[in-house]
Structure 1
């Protein structure tokens, strides 16, 4: 049976290739050797890179670190440009550690612009414009606010909250406190100036002179 199969195979090789069976198998062996030789130049480097990237992804992430209350400028330090620092992002003033989604929010990711910022307005509008990368959500419509709420729920359920954004103190808020003593002093001065002077020397002298004048006139008479 095996001999019949071999004879049939030899006849097919001669019929379809025009080569003898020995020549055909020699050419086939050389082709396979050439293929593996070429693959050896490209395969190992790609394989090593892929293995290294996979190993980096499988490394356990460090536990989230609480940063407390930070300013917007301080938050920019956690935009993923420094691999030694956690990847942070804020929504509605609440800061979350999104290091586990570095492929999305890290450098080169589709949402990398949002990292290191409070991107509430951009998320609500699904905008990638620089002007919308802010925590100011004034003027948003109901649908945009609803979309922002959905993003916030997603972050609250998936990521760890590690801090809040420090609100800048407006100049108008600090002015009254500093101006209170001056206003009080002004009020006291105004009160003092409006209060009539009592028993001043000039008034007492004038009253006494007025009382003595009738007496002097009577003596003359």
Structure 2
């Protein structure tokens, strides 16, 4: 069988190129080597490295705001929190993106689930109460892995209550009103 294939290939190469197979393959090998040498002179391997997107520092955000970064919007980075620290896991989209094995952790604080090595939806939260020392050690290992591999882009903060929001709005209103009054007196109105 192999001799029949070799004979057929020899006849085809001789018929179309006019060269014996050894000469044909020598010329092809020289062309490949020449191509590699010429490309190496003009292009370096660094020219083909994909450009990494610099992570944005998003600052403080609530768990509700974090959920918007779960991979459902391809324009937004993939974020995940451990122990209240938010990390950009966009470089591991195959794991944390839609369809990935850890996709359920994206856009969430997964501290408890990671500590318990659990994929249960009820464990995907930041509550560390009741965890054993061994589980806290596992969580610490996860945190070190994330610190080494991913950029921290923010911090989780508790959700503001409506009274806190109103107090903040009033203090901003008071400051702007006071500044307006000061500027009027300074202008002589």
List runs of 5+ in structure 1 lacking aligned partners.
1-8, 14-23, 30-57, 175-221
User: Where does structure 2 lack aligned partners over 5 or more consecutive residues?
Assistant: 13-48, 165-189
For residues 141-185 of structure 1, give each alpha carbon's deviation from its aligned partner in whole angstroms, at most 9, with x where no partner exists: 1111100000001111111111011113579xx8xxxxxxxxxxx
* C-alpha RMSD over aligned residues: 2.5
Q: SS in structure 2 opposite 1:109?
A: coil
- Equivalent-residue separation in structure 2 for 1:139 and 1:156 (angstroms): 24
Contact 2:62/2:156, CA 8 A, preserved across alignment? yes
Aligned to 1:129: 120
Larger Rg, first or second structure (1 or 2): 1
Q: How does 1:23-102 map to 2 (within 5 A)?
A: 59-102=50-93
* C-alpha contact (below 8 Å) 2:81/2:108 kept by paired residues: yes
Separation of aligned partners in 2, 1:170 and 1:77: 20
* 2:108 match: secondary structure: coil
Mapped contact 2:63–2:159 kept (Cα < 8 A)? no
> CA offset at residue 120 of structure 1?
0.1
- Which residue of structure 2 lines up, in the alignment, with residue 118 of structure 1? 109
Point out the structure with the larger helix share: 1
Flag as ranges the 4+ runs of structure 1 deviating above 4 A.
none
* Residue 140 (structure 1) aligns with: 131
TM-score (normalised: structure 2): 0.58
Partners of 1:113 and 1:151 lie apart in 2 by 16
SS of 2:86's partner is strand
Larger relative contact order (CA 8 Å, sep ≥ 6) = 2
Aligned to 2:155: 164
Number of matched pairs: 122
2:127 & 2:160 partners in 1: Cα distance?
A: 15
